[in-house]
Amino acid sequence: MPRRSESLSREQIVSTAVGILDAAGAGGLTFRVLAERLATGPGAIYWHVANKDELLTAATDAVVARALAEEPASGSPEDRVRAVALGLFDAVDQHPWMAAQLSTGTWQATSPHVLEAVGRQVRALGVPRADWFVTTTVLIQYILGAAVQNAANAQAAPRVGSRGEFLDAVATAWEELDAEEWSFTRTIGDQMRHHDDREQFLAGIDLALRGIAASRPQVRAAGGA
């Protein structure tokens, strides 16, 4: 295999790693495969990235940064929260290997990209400074948690067929539950069967935004959701 003649950069390594992760998942990402794809030796990669954990973190950071770059330059804070949230949701949907990374407290603590993007909008909504941390982190927990769950559902669906078949199987199971013991769950099977994941996700964001506005008079006065 020809050797790479130009200087290898960390950005090239991370970009190539993302491609491997998209194609083969975390299990398919090894330094040997990465070196072959980059036409270089493992030593050149280790110069920039110490180990696989660091590489996975860097790859996650890169995808998150791209998702957050789609944040609109204008619009209300509510619209910007929705854009940030949907960008992250779609990023995890397109790169399901990210789910494991986003689920770790370590990544969330050491990579404050999402905290900054959501926190700026919480501040713009007029939330008092004393409540910034709680409000921002609750929003982030919902955004990342829902995105990770959606990715998990997508991974489960192929085991039973298409997404529609998976939802139908779950909905049918709910509808067949005992009517007395499960009086609520069995009634929403058809809604489950036909729901749209992105619409459901954004409905959760809107519920959170309405809660913020309802609890903060100054937010309502500023035109909050």
Judge whether 61 lies within some domain. no
d(CA 82, CA 45): 37
Q: Which residues contact 4 (CB under 8 A, 6 or more apart)?
A: 38, 39, 40, 44
Judge whether 90 lies within some domain. no
Judge whether 201 lies within some domain. no
The whole-number pLDDT of residue 217 equals 62
Domain that holds residue 19: 1-50
Judge whether 11 lies within some domain. yes
Judge whether 141 lies within some domain. no
- Give me the number of domains the chain comprises: 1
Is the dihedral angle over the CA atoms 104, 105, 110, 111 positive or is it negative?
positive
CATH of residue 22's domain is: 1.10.10.60
Judge whether 87 lies within some domain. no
Judge whether 214 lies within some domain. no
Q: Is 138 exposed, middle or buried (0-12, 13-18, 19+ CB in 10 A)?
A: middle
Q: Which residues contact 186 (CB under 8 A, 6 or more apart)?
A: 174, 175, 176, 177, 179
Query: Confidence band (pLDDT; 50, 70, 90) for 167?
Result: confident
Q: Which residues contact 49 (CB under 8 A, 6 or more apart)?
A: 10, 13, 14, 55, 58
pLDDT tens track for 72-121: 767 899 999 999 999 999 999 999 999 988 887 667 766 788 999 999 99
d(CA 55, CA 52): 5
Which of the two residues, 165 and 92, has the higher pLDDT score? Answer: 92
Judge whether 17 lies within some domain. yes
Which of the two residues, 159 and 68, has the higher pLDDT score? Answer: 68
The model carries a pTM of 0.84
